[in-house]
Amino acid sequence: MSFSDRIRLFINSAKTVFVSYVKAELLRSKGFFLGLISMATWLATLMLPMTLFREPETPASLVSTYMFVGIAIFQAYSVSTWDWGWELRYSLFGGVLENVIISGSSIFVMYVGIIPITISWLILSLSITYVMLSALITPPALQIVNPLLLLLSLTSLMIVLFAYAMILGSTLIASGTSGAIVEFVSWILPIATGGITPLANLPHTMRLIALLTPFSYPAELLRHSLGLTTLIMPEETMIAISILYPAAFLAFSYAYFRKQLSKLFKEGVKTASLW
């Protein structure tokens, strides 16, 4: 098969994944829209009590901005967990993953097909969150202090989350881990790694744990690029780690992904239960 044929096959497979996902999640149910609204409502309501404990001299707009960025990072983690990680197992039980494998196309076509849905979900969800915070508190005052640093932090964050999704997804399809475990991890991970709260505000022990993970550095740089927090280490050091650590994490996750996929081919699915 020529290179152009492989590219054409990859694109067609990605299109098939995208169409199947749209039909399953958008056309046959209202779950997409209900989940969109309920997630934004639930998170905004959960974080609203923060306004009761702010210092009198702290502007409400600053609190609203902290909440918006925290919710945005949490939703990015959620997308990585459910759209990119759990989706592999969901597609396996729906027969989509099997068709992709049999067709000879790369399994990464699953991610390419989901990305448009992911971007749409994030944009809509964050728009609803912005409107809700504006109505309940005041409009978030988003101000980009360092555009290049913002771009670096977003790129680094996406690499880390994609690497995490590969580890989670490959573990799910090869070992049969239940959705309850995924649910637990998806809530603990953003909090424990400094995704929602600036590292400077975390207890010392939790801060050290967060710094051991690749998740904390992009989130901290993102807040810093918006002028919301002061870094706990020199900016040059934080930037270097935010480049090298995600790259190493991605390389490790890819190797792990290939190993688990090979295990799946040899041993098959461990359980017949989706959840």
Greater confidence, 86 or 197?
A: 197
Q: Would you say residue 104 has pLDDT above 70?
A: no
- List the beta strands (DSSP E) in the chain: none
Which of 142, 171, 200 terminates a domain? The answer is 142
As given in the structure block, the two tokens for residue 85 are 């990680």
Mean pLDDT along residues 49-61: 69
Greater confidence, 75 or 85?
A: 75
* Among the ranges given (16-25, 26-35, 96-105), the one the predictor scored with the smallest mean pLDDT: 26-35
Give the Å distances, CA to CA, from 232 to 22, 62, 222, 226: 43, 20, 14, 16
How many Cα neighbours within 13 Å face the side chain of 270? 15
Position 197 scores a pLDDT of 80
Query: What domain range is 128 assigned to?
Result: 1-142
Position 41 scores a pLDDT of 67
Give the Å distances, CA to CA, from 269 to 67, 168, 170, 171, 185: 41, 15, 11, 11, 22
Residue 72 CA to residue 120 CA, distance in Å, equals 14
pTM comes to 0.78
136 shares its domain with 169: no
Which of 95, 123, 142 terminates a domain? The answer is 142
Position 148 scores a pLDDT of 93
Number of domains, the chain: 2
Greater confidence, 261 or 7?
A: 261
Residue 175 CA to residue 173 CA, distance in Å, equals 6
Which of 72, 107, 142 terminates a domain? The answer is 142
32 shares its domain with 168: no
Q: Would you say residue 237 has pLDDT above 60?
A: yes
39 shares its domain with 110: yes
> Which residue, among 93, 92, 96, 124, has the nearest Cα to 18 in the 3D structure?
96
Which residue shows structure tokens 């690029």?
225
DSSP one-letter string for 104-156: T--TTHHHHHHHHHHHHHHHHHHHHHHHHHHHHT-------S-HHHHHHHHHH
Mean pLDDT along residues 112-121: 75
114 shares its domain with 249: no
Q: Rounded mean pLDDT of the chain?
A: 77
Position 243 scores a pLDDT of 93
21 shares its domain with 120: yes
Position 155 scores a pLDDT of 94
Position 37 scores a pLDDT of 66
Mean pLDDT along residues 27-50: 61
Position 159 scores a pLDDT of 92
135 shares its domain with 229: no
90 shares its domain with 134: yes
Position 229 scores a pLDDT of 84
Instruction: Kindly indicate the confidence band of residue 19, based on its pLDDT and cuts at 50, 70 and 90.
Output: low
Q: Which residues contact 30 (CB under 8 A, 6 or more apart)?
A: none
